[in-house]
């Protein structure tokens, strides 16, 4: 018998870049996510994100499914 707890949500925004010789500007990712606890430290996460270079938003929606530990 497995009981699911409530479904939590998150809104996130990350920005940064990596370069060696030439800095091409900042990149960012923004999105929403949903999490539920499956018991103890185990969670199930589903995130949807959109990438941008601050001039245009990538038309693709990226998603990530994670099953594992809670941090």
Give the whole-angstrom CA distance, residue 4 versus residue 23.
Answer: 46
Q: Which two tokens stand for residue 50?
A: 């959109």
Give the whole-angstrom CA distance, residue 60 versus residue 71.
Answer: 28
Give me Rg for the CA atoms of the chain.
Answer: 16
Q: Under 8 Å CB-to-CB from 31, ≥6 apart: which residues?
A: 11, 12, 47, 48, 49, 50, 62
Average pLDDT, integer, range 7-15: 93
Average pLDDT, integer, range 47-67: 95
pLDDT in tens, 20-55: 999 989 999 999 999 988 877 888 999 999 999 999
Give the whole-angstrom CA distance, residue 7 versus residue 3.
Answer: 12
């Amino acid at each position: 018998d497995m009981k699911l707890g409530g479904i939590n949500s998150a809104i996130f925004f990350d920005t940064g870049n990596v370069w060696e010789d030439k800095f091409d500007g900042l990149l960012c990712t923004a999105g929403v996510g949903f999490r539920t606890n499956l018991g103890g430290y185990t969670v199930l996460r589903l995130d949807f994100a959109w990438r941008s270079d601050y001039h245009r938003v990538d038309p693709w929606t990226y998603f990530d499914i994670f099953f594992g530990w809670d941090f």
